[in-house]
Amino acid sequence: MTITPPPATTEAANPAGPAALPIPRQSTGADVGRSRAFTNWVVQLCKEDPGARSALRSGLRKDLDSVRRMHRLVAPWLPDSRSEDVERAYYAVAAMIAAQPRSTLNSPDKAPDVQQQQDAEQTPGGRTRRGTSLGAALAIAVTEGPGREKEMRVGTAESRLNLLTRQSVNGLHRHLPATVGYLCSVGVDIDWAQLIHDLSNWRRHSGRISRTWLQDFYRQRNRDLTRQADQADELELTTDAPQPPTGS
């Protein structure tokens, strides 16, 4: 039996259970607190309910008029005041989550009180704190992903990233599922809520978001290379250290 979403107001009683996360208060745009609660709920739902997972997965790479099976699950979570880009972001990310093998879906973050969750998304200055970008996730895949030679992995990640950052809204929705699937297949966590935010704002701010993805990729790569160099130096010092004489 499919688990239905919780009611659309935080004041109403919520059913017990891990999939019954409270929906944050309505707000304009892709509210980060709402989208994080939503993606946590979708992850848990996909782990527990094969029927719901199938319904969500059916919308992969489809437009909003072709995802009839998804509406009963996604629509209650949508902000009251929203653009079509925000709607499309919610549906696309839900479908991408559902398209991953259940074994690769990490348990969602424990959901705190709604107000605590919203407060946690804010910096002391009141600005929204960014989560982990897709660029950072690709850099992590280069360092931690198994398989091919490192140079090939770097080239693959850079090619994917450069392809994505050149896309229109439609192009991004078309190409993104393959990259997300690749990242999940090598065990890299995706910040699904941040992805909703970026997709929602791509039409207006693709330049800024692309810059962030690229900067995060190269900053993370630099940190990883520095750490690897430090570890190599430590290992070399340990290997070259004189050994104490052994007793006869």
Q: Which amino acid is at 66?
A: S
Please choose, from the candidates 155, 140, 43, 33, the residue with its C-alpha nearest in 3D space to the C-alpha of residue 99: 43
CA 185 to chain centre: 14
The C-alpha atoms of residue 43 and residue 52 are separated, in whole angstroms, by 11
State the CB neighbour count (10 A cutoff) for residue 169: 16
CA 79 to chain centre: 19
pLDDT of residue 186: 84
Q: Among the residues of 129-247, which ranges form H helices?
A: 134-144, 150-165, 169-185, 192-240
The C-alpha atoms of residue 110 and residue 151 are separated, in whole angstroms, by 37
Q: Residue 169 above 80 pLDDT?
A: yes
Residue ranges matching CATH 1.10.520.40 in the chain: 130-238
The C-alpha atoms of residue 246 and residue 146 are separated, in whole angstroms, by 40
CATH homologous superfamily of 130-238 equals CRISPR-associated protein Cse2 (1.10.520.40)
With the C-alpha atoms ordered 97, 100, 101, 106, is the resulting torsion angle positive or negative?
Answer: negative
Q: What angle do CA 173, 215, 91 make, to 5 degrees?
A: 20
Specify burial of residue 52 (Cβ count, 10 A radius: 0-12, 13-18, 19+): buried
Tokens of 13: 């009683």
Mean confidence (pLDDT) of the chain: 79
Q: Among residues of the chain, what percentage have pLDDT more than 90?
A: 52
Q: Residue 234 above 80 pLDDT?
A: no
Tokens of 239: 């290997």
- Average pLDDT for 20-45: 72
Q: Residue 241 above 60 pLDDT?
A: no
The C-alpha atoms of residue 8 and residue 192 are separated, in whole angstroms, by 21
Q: Residue 107 above 70 pLDDT?
A: no
